[in-house]
Amino acid sequence: MPIDEFRCAACRRQTSVLVMNRDRIGKVRCRHCGSDRLERSDDDADGL
Ligand SMILES: [Zn+2]
């Protein structure tokens, strides 16, 4: 299934989103805090 990993820019938590259509990525929200400021996190080498 097309599940993408996002990281919330507000609470820094990870959210997995089932993406049916790539055009919908801009509308996904963090399920922890409800923010829509999600970043793609398929590249986990971010230097933290
Ligand atoms: Zn969040």
pLDDT in tens, 1-48: 688 888 999 999 999 888 776 665 567 889 999 999 988 876 655 555
Alpha carbon of 35 to ligand 1 centroid (Å): 5
Instruction: Please report, for the chain, the start and end positions of each structural domain, with discontinuous segments joined by +.
Output: 3-40
| pLDDT value at residue 1 | 67
pTM above 0.75, yes or no: no
Residue 28 CA to residue 9 CA, distance in Å, equals 13
Alpha carbon of 37 to ligand 1 centroid (Å): 8
| pLDDT value at residue 8 | 94
| pLDDT value at residue 28 | 81
Alpha carbon of 1 to ligand 1 centroid (Å): 23
Question: Phi and psi for 7 in degrees, rounded to 5?
Answer: -120, 135
Alpha carbon of 46 to ligand 1 centroid (Å): 18
